[in-house]
């Protein structure tokens, strides 16, 4: 794999390969010194035009644990403020000799556009409301680990909230269904995309109706920064109908797990404290983020010799 830009591009085979190699990376991360020389001599730049905490830091941590060099690009202190174009920024960084761009941008399609201007690998860390493939890898890996299953056949995954603006939802719908799960989307009509009838999903407007049959409850953040019109009457009303309240949490099956990609809006979509839930995977999602991104960077950047030496190191 040269690029990691969408779940569709990865396909089921790529998805499974990366999930399996995440197991090897997790093994490295359990060591007292979680670092291997696998990507020595490679340089990874994070090119984030949108805010991020966990995605950017987990990519940078992942690159360092594989011994790659890292560069961080910060829009607010860059020549973008002097009018430099995206193309000039990418070409300038390419000239410095980078091997991978980890890109986040508010416009859908930017990772594909950038790939026209550089020979480096492009890893999509979120493009508008389009794709966030490494988040979906994190989420599938976390469910697989928590439930101890390789296939998601028969698993009911319910994704709740601002589906319309969510790249996490789009990537997760593809990834979970590729692995056999049944995905149900729950949102008010104004936050549901128009074309869900072309997606392999069920649609509901009532969380109360579906919560009891849910195995994986995936809560989404209300993305106010992407809303240009009043799509919900008010936050209180939204929280009452679509938030995870104590009363609703009681309706979950005892085996059900709760997830959220973060950052969380407490008191909007999350009324309960996740640490009070018996099966919250929210901290696991963050922790697994590093191993998953190590697997992605390694897959994109390692040559055969490096693959073999890592296999020896982890005894695979
Ligand atoms: C998500 C994102 O930026 O797409 N966050 C993340 O990467 N963990 C989800 C969000 O911002 O709501």
Distance from Cα 14 to the centre of ligand 1, integer Å: 22
Query: For residue 314, what pLDDT band results from cuts at 50, 70 and 90?
Result: confident
Predicted confidence (pLDDT) at residue 44 exceeds the cutoff of 70: yes
Task: Name 87's Cβ contacts closer than 8 Å, sequence gap at least 6.
Answer: 117
Instruction: Give me 30's structure tokens.
Output: 């359990």
Share of the chain above pLDDT 90, in %: 80
Per-residue confidence (pLDDT) for residue 111, from 0 to 100: 98
Per-residue confidence (pLDDT) for residue 229, from 0 to 100: 63
**97/307: higher pLDDT:** 97
The answer to whether 49 touches 105, Cβ cutoff 8 Å, is: yes
Return d(Cα 145, Cα 262) in angstroms, integer. Answer: 19
Task: Give the number of the atom of ligand 1 that is nearest the alpha carbon of residue 50.
Answer: 3
Distance from Cα 164 to the centre of ligand 1, integer Å: 14
104 is catalytic: yes
Distance from Cα 215 to the centre of ligand 1, integer Å: 22
Per-residue confidence (pLDDT) for residue 125, from 0 to 100: 98
Q: What pLDDT digit, counting tens, does each position of 10-34 carry?
A: 999 999 999 999 999 999 999 999 9
How confident is the prediction for the chain on average, in pLDDT? 93
- The whole-number average pLDDT for the span 184-205 is 95
Distance from Cα 29 to the centre of ligand 1, integer Å: 23
> Which residue, by CA, sits nearest to atom 7 of ligand 1?
55
Per-residue confidence (pLDDT) for residue 19, from 0 to 100: 97
55 is catalytic: yes
Of 30, 82, 195, 303, the active-site residue reads 82
For residue 182, list its beta bridge partners: 156
65 is catalytic: no
Nearest alpha carbon to residue 39 among 308, 311, 303: 303
132 is catalytic: yes
Per-residue confidence (pLDDT) for residue 102, from 0 to 100: 97
Confidence (pTM): 0.94
Task: Give the number of the atom of ligand 1 that is nearest the alpha carbon of residue 221.
Answer: 12
Find the residues whose C-beta lies inside 6 A of ligand 1: 54-55, 126, 132, 135, 167-168, 221, 223, 261-262
Task: Give the number of the atom of ligand 1 that is nearest the alpha carbon of residue 167.
Answer: 4
- The whole-number average pLDDT for the span 90-118 is 96
Predicted confidence (pLDDT) at residue 228 exceeds the cutoff of 90: no
Task: Name 194's Cβ contacts closer than 8 Å, sequence gap at least 6.
Answer: none
* Number of C-beta neighbours around residue 276 at 10 A: 9
- The whole-number average pLDDT for the span 121-146 is 97
Task: Give the number of the atom of ligand 1 that is nearest the alpha carbon of residue 261.
Answer: 8
DSSP line for the chain: ---B--HHHHHHHHHHHHHHHHHHHHHHHTSSS----TTTT-EEEEEESS--SHHHHHHHHHHHHTT-EEEEEEGGGSGGGGT--HHHHHHHHHHT--SEEEEEESSTTHHHHHTTT-SSEEEEEEETTTB-HHHHHHHHHHHHHHHT-S--TT-EEEEES--TT-HHHHHHHHHHHHTTPEEEEE--GGGS-TTGGGSSEEEES-HHHHGGG-SEEEE----GGG--S--SS-HHHHHHHHSB-HHHHHTS-TT-EEE--S---BTTTB-S-GGGSTTB-HHHHHHHHHHHHHHHHHHHH--HHHHHHHHHHHT-
Of 65, 132, 164, 260, the active-site residue reads 132
Distance from Cα 276 to the centre of ligand 1, integer Å: 23
Of 3, 42, 56, 104, the active-site residue reads 104
Per-residue confidence (pLDDT) for residue 304, from 0 to 100: 67
């Amino acid at each position: 794999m040269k690029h990691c830009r969408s779940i569709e591009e990865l396909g089921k085979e790529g998805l499974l390969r990366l999930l399996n190699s995440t197991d090897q990376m997790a093994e490295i991360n359990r060591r007292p010194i979680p670092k291997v020389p696998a990507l020595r001599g490679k340089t990874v730049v994070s090119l984030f035009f949108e805010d991020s905490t966990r995605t950017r830091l987990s990519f940078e941590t992942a690159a360092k644990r594989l011994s790659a060099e890292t560069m961080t690009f910060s829009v607010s202190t860059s020549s973008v403020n002097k009018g430099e174009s995206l193309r000039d920024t990418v070409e300038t960084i390419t000239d410095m000799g980078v091997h991978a761009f980890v890109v986040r941008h508010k416009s859908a399609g930017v990772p594909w556009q950038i790939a026209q201007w550089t020979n480096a690998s492009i890893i999509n860390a979120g493009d508008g409301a389009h794709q966030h493939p490494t988040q979906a890898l994190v989420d599938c890996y976390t469910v697989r680990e928590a439930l101890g299953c390789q296939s998601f056949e028969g698993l009911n995954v319910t994704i709740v909230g601002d589906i319309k603006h969510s790249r996490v939802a789009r990537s997760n719908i593809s990834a979970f269904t590729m692995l056999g799960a049944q995905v149900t989307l729950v949102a008010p009509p104004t936050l549901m995309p128009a074309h869900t009838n072309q997606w392999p999903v069920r649609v509901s407007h009532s969380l109360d109706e579906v919560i009891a049959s849910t195995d994986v409850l995936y809560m989404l953040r209300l993305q106010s920064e992407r809303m240009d019109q009043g799509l919900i009457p008010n936050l209180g009303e939204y929280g009452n109908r679509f938030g995870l309240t104590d009363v609703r949490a009681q309706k979950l099956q005892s085996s059900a797990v709760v997830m959220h990609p973060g950052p969380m809006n407490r008191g909007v979509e999350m009324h309960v404290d996740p640490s009070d839930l018996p099966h919250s995977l929210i901290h696991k999602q963050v922790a697994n983020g590093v191993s998953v991104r190590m697997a992605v960077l390694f897959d994109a950047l390692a040559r055969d010799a490096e693959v073999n030496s890592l296999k020896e190191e982890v005894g695979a």
